[in-house]
């Protein structure tokens, strides 16, 4: 079966503390096409048949809640809850490429309501399955570390599970910088305590602490990126500079 055309209609979402996001889709529609086959037996007569079909569904409504969190590696997770309802207002299916297509289409017209209810009952399991496999696979493979300069990367994985209030979703990213090739290096920079947010007046906001800058400079120092050594031949001889420890005595007393 293949979905050839779809429309999401109107989509809205709400948040519920402590970790729920509620999706509401109304007025969605889709068109499908595919192949079918059937085996049937009537008394001592048995037969098999196959063909193609097209189906149009409209007035699709879906309400589903998902729980957001994080895994052991700091990647976000989405888990559907048992709360899910779905319905299809209109469904029209037509079969073709069979010698008995006309008969099957008559039977489909008589049992349209039953078929519509059957399709409706499969929406929630299909959506939940997609969330648990496809969407979760995408989240686990999303890139959350990025280069910051030539010798440093910044880790944007989650430091704790997302916080959900009645009107906001807050993500807590590590924001830790480390030298390239040393993602597990221990930093001496203390991680700041970021408070929970109980309300928000903005659609989105970002709070950036000095932890990012501090770990960046710490990683640069560990990597020796800014190390510079000066020798006698580092200066132009015509300047008449004689570089010794006494040269810096006036700047670094003791």
pLDDT tens-digit series, residues 27-38: 999 888 888 887
Q: How many CB atoms lie within 10 A of CB 234?
A: 10
Q: How far apart are CA 34 and CA 14, in angstroms?
A: 36
Q: What is the pLDDT of residue 10?
A: 92
Q: What is the pLDDT of residue 24?
A: 93
Q: What is the pLDDT of residue 5?
A: 84
Residue 250 has pLDDT above 70, yes or no: no
- Return the DSSP state at 73: T
Q: What is the pLDDT of residue 168?
A: 76
pLDDT tens figures, 41-98:
777 777 788 889 898 999 999 999 999 999 998 999 999 999 899 999 999 889 898 8
Q: How far apart are CA 31 and CA 117, in angstroms?
A: 17
Q: What is the pLDDT of residue 61?
A: 95
Mean pLDDT of the region 123-134? 87
Q: What is the pLDDT of residue 232?
A: 62
Q: How far apart are CA 246 and CA 132, in angstroms?
A: 68
pTM of the model: 0.66
pLDDT tens figures, 159-181:
888 888 777 788 888 888 888 88
51 neighbors 95 (Cβ within 8 angstroms): yes
Q: How far apart are CA 160 and CA 216, in angstroms?
A: 21
- Tell me the residue ranges of DSSP E strands in 71-99: 76-96
Q: How far apart are CA 234 and CA 73, in angstroms?
A: 47
**What confidence tier does 100 reach under pLDDT thresholds 50, 70, 90?**
confident
Mean pLDDT of the region 120-146? 87
Mean pLDDT of the region 3-18? 85
| 67 or 224: which leads in pLDDT | 67
Task: Name the residue ranges covered by the structural domains of the chain.
Answer: 2-141, 145-248
| 44 or 23: which leads in pLDDT | 23
| 83 or 190: which leads in pLDDT | 83
Q: How far apart are CA 84 and CA 62, in angstroms?
A: 7
Residue with token string 């400079």: 217
> Nearest 5°: CA angle at 27, between 21 and 29?
105
Beta-bridge partner residues of 122:
none
Q: What is the pLDDT of residue 228?
A: 73
Among the listed ranges 17-26, 65-74, 190-199, which one has the minimum average pLDDT value? 190-199
Structural domain 2-141, CATH architecture: Super Roll (3.15)
Residue 236 has pLDDT above 80, yes or no: no
Q: How far apart are CA 95 and CA 76, in angstroms?
A: 43
Q: What is the pLDDT of residue 186?
A: 73
Q: How far apart are CA 208 and CA 173, in angstroms?
A: 10
Residue 254 has pLDDT above 80, yes or no: no
Quote the mean pLDDT of the chain. Answer: 82
């Amino acid at each position: 079966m293949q979905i050839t055309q779809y429309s999401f209609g109107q989509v809205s979402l709400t948040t519920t503390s402590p970790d729920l996001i509620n999706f509401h889709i109304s007025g969605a529609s889709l068109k499908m096409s595919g192949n079918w086959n059937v085996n049937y037996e009537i008394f001592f007569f048995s037969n098999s048949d196959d063909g193609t079909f097209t189906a149009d569904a409209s007035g699709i409504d879906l309400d589903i809640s998902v729980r957001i969190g994080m895994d052991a590696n700091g990647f976000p997770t989405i888990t559907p809850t048992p709360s899910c309802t779905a319905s299809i207002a209109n469904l029209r299916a037509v079969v073709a490429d069979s010698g008995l297509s006309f008969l099957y289409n008559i039977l489909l017209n008589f049992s349209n309501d039953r078929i519509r209810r059957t399709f409706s009952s499969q929406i929630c399991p299909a959506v939940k399955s997609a969330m648990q496999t496809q969407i979760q696979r995408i989240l686990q493979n999303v890139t959350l570390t990025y280069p910051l300069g030539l010798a440093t990367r910044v880790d944007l994985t989650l430091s704790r599970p997302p916080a959900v209030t009645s009107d906001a979703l807050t993500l807590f990213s590590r924001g830790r910088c480390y030298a390239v090739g040393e993602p597990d290096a221990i930093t001496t920079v203390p991680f700041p305590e970021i408070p929970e947010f109980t309300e928000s007046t903005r659609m989105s906001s970002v709070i950036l602490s000095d932890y990012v800058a501090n770990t960046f400079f710490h990683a640069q120092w560990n990597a020796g990126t800014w190390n510079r050594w000066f020798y006698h031949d580092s200066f132009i001889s015509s300047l008449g500079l004689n570089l010794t420890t006494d040269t810096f005595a006036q700047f670094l007393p003791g």
